[in-house]
Structure 1
Amino acid sequence: MPTPHEAPVTEAEWTIRSAEGDLFAKSWTPETPGAAPIILFHDSLGCVDLWRGFPERLAAGTNRRVIAYDRLGFGRSDTHPGRLQLDFVAAEARDTIPHLCEQLGVGEFVACGHSVGGGMAVETAALFPERCRALVTIAAQAFVEERTLAGIRDAKRGFQDPANVARLARYHGDKARWVLDAWTETWLSPAFADWTLDEALAAVRCPVLALHGDRDEYGSSAHPERIAAGRGAARLLPDTGHVPHREQEALVLDAIRSFLNGR
């Protein structure tokens, strides 16, 4: 919940209609929101509910509307009809964000994403340079690194335990196995090995803040450095792994609030 000096936040749930299926979305809106709203992009196993209290505190701390949504196949959104395509990171910006903005009345916005969601935020900033006022990435990958693949292989072995899949099903229901395979099999596919954000990064025109944990098991500091190079600031968070907004929430909130001040 917001601290006493922060404005109260109103929550609302939404259904985003698209040709591929319905997407679940949720918004957190301060009483008198200020500048451009923040769109959150979740990670490879994530969903709205797994952001937990972060969106509400982000909305209260920045005095901006915050919008999070479940990608197709995740959380409370409809089932994905097949396998992820190799261009799924760029496709999220191209195929989903126009529907979200139109149906939720969003003009200008801030793109903010965690892990692969950070890549989707980059692609969104690149595709909508006139509308994206700022870009924030949290533990994002900019290319396929062996450290990333090693972390995914370790996680895949861990999910051989049915109990771990059952925990994932608390958030994704009977889509849990698809969610897991979409992550591991896409990233570990040889066909995905040459994926990078380089082309999208070259098209980004807004200020950038790239946050990354110094103990991130899915990516080295090369990722935030590449994302921020010539575009903004890379900040390495001490004693932090792959989920900075949970491990160091106050630090992340303060960093984003300071970065967005006046934008």
Structure 2
Amino acid sequence: MTLSPTGFLRIGDADLQYRMIGPSPEAAPTIVMLHEGLGCSELWGDFPDRLQAATGAGVFAYSRAGYGASSPAKLPRPLDYMQIEALEVLPKLLDAIGFRRGILLGHSDGGSIAAIYAGSLGDHRVRAVTLIAPHFIVENVSVASIAEIKTAYETTDLRARLARWHRNVDNAFYGWNGAWLDPQFRTWDISDYLAYIRVPIAIIQGAADQYGTLRQVEIAQEECYCPVDVTVLPGVGHSPHREAVDATLAISAEFYKAVMDIHEQPQGRAA
């Protein structure tokens, strides 16, 4: 299909907001961007545009249900909502945009969703995965920071600031916050998926991430059989693509080019 630069896709019973930068999926490899737990397609800022310029790839960013201008999600979210996104929604979305080859790039919750997808469906179209501050398990620091942000949402101007980006701001916030603060969510663990990923992974992690420690990186290194390239950025928190944009852009673009160059080499040349 031909994608407009912006619009909505009907996936299941939800209309999902999206941005498409650069060539369409049928014309070039595509980087599919999956946002964080309070993100959306627009909250990536100009990072998708800069990534497209640095790689020449098409870049597709979308807002999951409940975020941005997408349809609201049914609350409370089930505690396996990231597995549902990866196994039920994302496959339909990739088919809908005509995804042929490329990589998944996810931040935070989006990174977890990308890892689940890559470790479960064996999609040959996905040539690599870039994970920015992903979660594989729930840590004490995660729960403490998410509890703090709930207080901020209810007592400061945070709600008003988020409302600039989310049409249904309470749906976006409480859908994410409520799941993470549910006591039963403490046992959430997606590390088993990592052993089944068969494509290269790049992890970009802030050393000062307030939502997760380097234990998340260690889990990937322990569980994965595929190549795992790790970059830890000193003094950077949970959003390297905002706090250290040039470094994150350079790492992401270099990784993309390295993995795609392998696959885009002409086949059958004589030795």
When normalised by structure 1's length, the TM-score is 0.90
Range 122-131 or range 64-73, more displaced: 122-131
The alignment-based identity, stated in percent, is 32
Q: 2: CA distance between counterparts of 1:188 and 1:237? A: 28
Runs of 4+, deviation exceeding 6 Å: 31-34
Give secondary structure in 2 for the equivalent of 1:84: coil
Q: 1: CA distance between counterparts of 2:48 and 2:91? A: 21
Where do residues 50-89 of structure 1 align in structure 2 (5 Å cutoff)?
A: 50-89=43-82
In the other structure, the counterpart of 2:10 is: 17
Q: 2: CA distance between counterparts of 1:151 and 1:31? A: 38
In the other structure, the counterpart of 1:139 is: 133
In the other structure, the counterpart of 1:117 is: 110
Q: 2: CA distance between counterparts of 1:162 and 1:242? A: 21
Stretches of structure 2 that go unaligned for 5 or more consecutive residues are 261-271
Partner of residue 247 from structure 1, selected from 243, 257, 262: 243
In the other structure, the counterpart of 1:6 is: none
Q: Deviations over 1:87-121 (max 9, x none)?
A: 11111112222222222110223111111110011
Q: Which amino acid aligns with 1:146?
A: N
Q: 2: CA distance between counterparts of 1:109 and 1:127? A: 17
Stretches of structure 1 that go unaligned for 5 or more consecutive residues are 1-9
Q: Which amino acid aligns with 1:179?
A: A
In the other structure, the counterpart of 1:3 is: none
Q: 1: CA distance between counterparts of 2:65 and 2:211? A: 23
**Would you say 1:237 and 2:233 are equivalent positions?**
yes
**Would you say 1:209 and 2:179 are equivalent positions?**
no
Q: Which amino acid aligns with 1:149?
A: V
When normalised by structure 2's length, the TM-score is 0.88
Partner of residue 91 from structure 1, selected from 84, 88, 94: 84
Does the 8 A contact of 1:122 with 1:201 survive in 2?
yes
Partner of residue 164 from structure 2, selected from 149, 163, 170: 170
Count of residues in Structure 1 that have an aligned counterpart in Structure 2: 253
Does the 8 A contact of 1:118 with 1:141 survive in 2?
yes
Q: CA deviation at 1:31?
A: 9.5
Give secondary structure in 2 for the equivalent of 1:252: helix
Give the superposed CA RMSD: 2.0
